Structure 1
Amino acid sequence: MDNTIDRKDYNEAEFKKLLVNFLKTKPQGATQLDMVVGTGLSKDWVDLAVRSLLDDYPAHLETNEKHELVYVFDFESREEQLTPKMMLQKAFKLAWKGFTFFFKVWIVLMLFTYLLFYVLVLAFAVAIITRNGDILGEVLGKILKALRDVFSMLMKGREGDILSDDGYIHQVFSYVFGATRQKTDDLKLEKQLLRFISQNQGKIVVAEIVKLTGWSVRQAQEEAAQLLANYHGDATVTEEGVIVYTFADFDPTVLGTNDEQEVKNPLIASTPHQAVLPIWKRPIPHRPMNDNDKETNNNIMYVNAFNWIMSLVAPFLILFLVSDGENIDTLPDVFYVWTTMIPFAFSFLFWLIPFMRRQAMKSENRRIDAQNEENQLLRVIFNQVDQKIYRDKEVKQLQTALVPVGKQPVHSNLGKLLDKKAIELDAESRSDEKGMYYDFEQLNTDLKVAERLRTR
């Protein structure tokens, strides 16, 4: 029998598989020592494999009664993300995006084609009624020139670029289908957290993550674990049981000047000296109806209104022009379809879509107001985090604390909102002779420990 221990090279895929199989038997989490014992891997190999797992699966760190770090992974949520249903939804979104693009092009073509058609019909009718051929030629010349200018402007923006973001085609798109979705910076929140870390000696605690993001304690723990994996951080536990996430690469006392730090860490390069504000000082703005100013929207609305009215008037003018009041019944039914039914239905949809979007936009902005109210509630909590927050007393004052004077909060029951936030922030519910109150002891301890470590 060979009584020696085999020497192995580091195999990330194999070791990660061993760890996943072991950790699935430990839903409450495991320390690195538990992983070493449970898998037979060395401490260094476990450390490397765990960091790699943090990139693959949601996780958060906790502490046990011995103040040891416990890694808790959520394998089920990642498995759910890979289901065929999610892939089908992505394919549907892509197909819908293509359909809406071609639909927008059709909308613009219909709007201005009928505008041209109805203006010409109206000009001919005016000229014939006045029995003045010279007037007809003069009117047609001016109309055609004006229409040529209009279509030229449709194809170019103010700077002359084809299909530019300030062009008339874009304005019509925006009027019907709403404001352009700004390209989101997927790393924006990450940059803010890293900038805060760099401004605070490379350290951060869960309470500060909550303060900056508005997340629950659980989500803040998961994101902190992800930061450890992405930016080679370390986690230590203080005597109070507080987990401190430390990133040496973002510590200016280690790197030297802020300029050196800016070069080494491009994620925090922009405005490195600007303090990161808490979430309640960064309110979410309302979404606008579209990208246009009021005058542009009015002009587009008038064009559609003109087409809508002319869809009812034009058939009679055309009949008058082609028959002079005789043989009216000889025109085919398709004549009425193309001159009345289709443009009338189109103009109705052109009005209906923005109208329906306006209702949806009100709902979305109401949700934004609700989120801003929750963030303002965090301000109230963090301002009193070292005190007892009595529920009944606080609810009476929350309305003026969360919304401007004279306005009503979106949340009809501020007491329930406070209860919800207390659960998210792991507050303890207690009572005394003054009534029931919330004790945010863990948040308070986190903040005190962070302040103490940075003042050494």
Structure 2
Amino acid sequence: MNRLSVSNTPSGPDLSLVLTALRKARGRATVGDVVAETGLARDEVETSLRSLLETRKGNLEVGETGTLVYRFDPRLIQRDAIPFFARLREGAWQGFTRAFKAWIVLMLLVYFVIFVALIIAALVASQSRGGGRSSGRLGGRRGGIPTFRGFWFWYFFWSPGWGRGRPYYGHRWERRYGSRRGEPKVPFIKKVFAFVFGPDRPKPTQAQNDRSVIRLIRARRGVLTATELVQHSGLPLQAAEEELARLMVTHGGDVEVTKEGVLGYVFPELMVSAKGAVTEREPDPAWRRLEPPEEVTGNDAKANGIVAGINTFNLVAASTAPWFIFPRLGLAGDLVWIGLVWVPLAYSTMFFAVPALRTLAVQRRNRLRRDRNLRKVILGEVFRASLAQGGTQWVSVSGASAHVRKSLTSGKSRGPDAQVGRKRNREPVERYVERTTPDALVGAQLQVLLAEFDGKVEEDTDGSVRYGFPTIVAQLQGAEAIRKGLSLEEQKVGDIVYASDQTEHEGHERDLAAFDRELAGGTDLTHLLPDPGRIAYLDDFELVANA
């Protein structure tokens, strides 16, 4: 096995030379290539390339001879870089959101109070003209104009103890976390904002995003391959390689390359614990991390009904004011029309128009979620077939389609509302499969996986196409061999795989013998496969709820 040495962070000037060399090489180079181009020392170049894996989109490749190749995007794009127009659009939306929220507080609440008062005053005026009993007593206890000074009214819109800027992630979050004993009640104004702009979106830090992967690394004894990260996250294989390259640099990791070309990322520092041997429960795989559908408002039906009712009242009151309120109260003039008709009409119309337009964007994002969820469910079937006891099995389109339908209807799942006793939500995949041709969708996903994992395809006896993924088995077998050789969970040496006094031939024979021991009789990899027929959903806010 070959190991990549660990070095320190590079200096600025040397890094700029390395960047120039990479641009000339269109992002793909070995350490030797960059050394030849820059004239820098090998250790400096290797250090610079490692640091770039953390800040630029890139990953490691292994040549046939075991040589490590650094592969970056030819444009050397920064990780998490956002295009200019996307940032401009996001900034404009945030500015509009802040301004409109302030307008909501003023318009929705104040105009609601004003119109209620004016309608009551108009009714009282009508009764007064007709000889009603409440003549002239607009401020009286019977039929007077309400002042809304009671604490209950303002408590309805804001809750004591709710900190300014605290997020509201929607009704599922409220039921699961926001309704705990001692927690302040979600202010109604937050639900008003959510009605227009949607619930707050969780913004997990990089550390919060990395927690489940770090748990996976520790559960798998400090060694992880990109294939295993795909199994855990559902990421495309190249994205998983880039993510592991970043984690390697961030957490002081390393790489091991077997003679068979399996690239394993090694994290010895994550396997050191004050409690002794590390024992970590493996996090859920991708098919138990499905994404529930994004909701337009995030509110429950009751909250949406109240918000829509208040705005509808304002809309109707403003549109009928010239015929109902103005004549009875003797109101007239341009300012009255502007203040009591045109402004509230424009506001109330926009109040309904914004969520209506957002619905289109939410539907588009939900289609992407459905694609990702379908991929994750199919990954469960692919890994099941690849790691089956008795040898790798073929995956057919019809078999994978049956697996998708069975997984979604078998009841072996945990939905986003499971903790509050609600029926699980299968919307992201189930309706997508029902409305389209399952075999076509599944076949398209299998073709993508075939390309990613360099799989095999052949025609079955009935003329149908079936797929095989031997690379998945080889990757996991290689990872298990590395784990056994390093024994990081115990921080011990394990079997000797290299000695300084051995000849090249002896070292080669030792490596082959070590790998053969792993493959002898067929390595049982079923412990790396959680039940692929059991799906589950993971809400976005789960990443930050317990941070």
With the shorter chain as reference, the TM-score category is 0.7 to 0.9
1:387-441 Cα offsets, whole Å, 9 max, x none, are 3535444355354256437855166422122212222333233446565432322
Partner AA of 1:234 in structure 2? D
Whether the aligned pair in 2 keeps the contact of 1:61 and 1:70 (CA below 8 Å) is: yes
| Displacement after TM superposition at 1:54 (Å) | 2.1
SS in 2 for 1:47: helix
Give the gaps of 5 or more residues in structure 2. 1-8, 168-185, 411-429, 486-547
SS in 1 for 2:51: helix
| Displacement after TM superposition at 1:199 (Å) | 2.2
Whether the aligned pair in 2 keeps the contact of 1:389 and 1:439 (CA below 8 Å) is: yes
1:184 is the counterpart of 2:183: no
Q: Which whole-Å CA distance do the structure 1 matches of 2:146 and 2:78 have between them?
A: 62
After TM superposition, list the pairs within 5 Å mapping 1:13-162 onto structure 2: 13-27=12-26, 29-36=28-35, 39-78=38-77, 86-87=83-84, 89-130=86-127, 131-133=132-134, 136-139=138-141, 143-146=145-148, 148-149=150-151, 152-153=154-155, 156-159=158-161
Moved more, 31-40 or 197-206: 31-40
Q: Which whole-Å CA distance do the structure 2 matches of 1:161 and 1:24 have between them?
A: 49
Specify which of 457, 467, 479 is matched with residue 450 of structure 1.
479
1:311 is the counterpart of 2:313: no
| Displacement after TM superposition at 1:211 (Å) | 0.8
Distance 1:358 1:81, change over 3 A: closer
Distance 1:322 1:81, change over 3 A: closer
Corresponding position of 1:428: 456
Corresponding position of 1:364: 365
Q: Which whole-Å CA distance do the structure 1 matches of 2:306 and 2:78 have between them?
A: 51
1:441 is the counterpart of 2:470: yes
1:213 is the counterpart of 2:241: no
Moved more, 39-48 or 212-221: 39-48
Q: Which whole-Å CA distance do the structure 2 matches of 1:357 and 1:139 have between them?
A: 44
Partner AA of 1:447 in structure 2? L
Corresponding position of 1:268: none
Specify which of 399, 405, 413 is matched with residue 400 of structure 1.
405
| Displacement after TM superposition at 1:238 (Å) | 0.8
1:278 is the counterpart of 2:294: no
| Displacement after TM superposition at 1:446 (Å) | 0.6
1:9-35 Cα offsets, whole Å, 9 max, x none, are x97334334433444444584443454
Partner AA of 1:351 in structure 2? F
Whether the aligned pair in 1 keeps the contact of 2:382 and 2:395 (CA below 8 Å) is: no
Distance 1:399 1:408, change over 3 A: farther
1:148-167 Cα offsets, whole Å, 9 max, x none, are 54663366315476787622
1:270-327 Cα offsets, whole Å, 9 max, x none, are xx8332111111111222333544333222222222222222433233343345xxxx
- The answer to which structure has the higher helix fraction is 1
Partner AA of 1:106 in structure 2? W
Question: Structure with the greater relative contact order (CA < 8 A, sep ≥ 6): 1 or 2?
Answer: 2
SS in 2 for 1:144: coil
Q: Percent identity?
A: 26
| TM-score normalised by structure 1 residue count | 0.80
Partner AA of 2:284 in structure 1? L
Moved more, 139-148 or 357-366: 139-148
SS in 1 for 2:61: strand
Aligned residue pairs total 426
Q: Which whole-Å CA distance do the structure 2 matches of 1:148 and 1:189 have between them?
A: 45
Corresponding position of 1:257: 275
Corresponding position of 1:297: 304
Whether the aligned pair in 1 keeps the contact of 2:58 and 2:245 (CA below 8 Å) is: yes
Q: Which is higher, the Rg of structure 1 or of structure 2?
A: 1
Q: Which whole-Å CA distance do the structure 2 matches of 1:21 and 1:354 have between them?
A: 47
| Displacement after TM superposition at 1:363 (Å) | 3.9
| Displacement after TM superposition at 1:141 (Å) | 7.5
Distance 1:349 1:30, change over 3 A: closer
The Cα RMSD (Å) is 3.4
After TM superposition, list the pairs within 5 Å mapping 1:352-391 onto structure 2: 352-386=353-387, 387-391=392-396
1:156-184 Cα offsets, whole Å, 9 max, x none, are 31547678762233222122221111232
Whether the aligned pair in 2 keeps the contact of 1:209 and 1:215 (CA below 8 Å) is: yes
Corresponding position of 1:340: 341
Distance 1:147 1:47, change over 3 A: same
SS in 2 for 1:437: strand
Whether the aligned pair in 2 keeps the contact of 1:30 and 1:72 (CA below 8 Å) is: yes
Q: Which whole-Å CA distance do the structure 2 matches of 1:367 and 1:226 have between them?
A: 25
Moved more, 410-419 or 426-435: 426-435
Q: Which whole-Å CA distance do the structure 1 matches of 2:65 and 2:27 have between them?
A: 15
Corresponding position of 1:229: 249
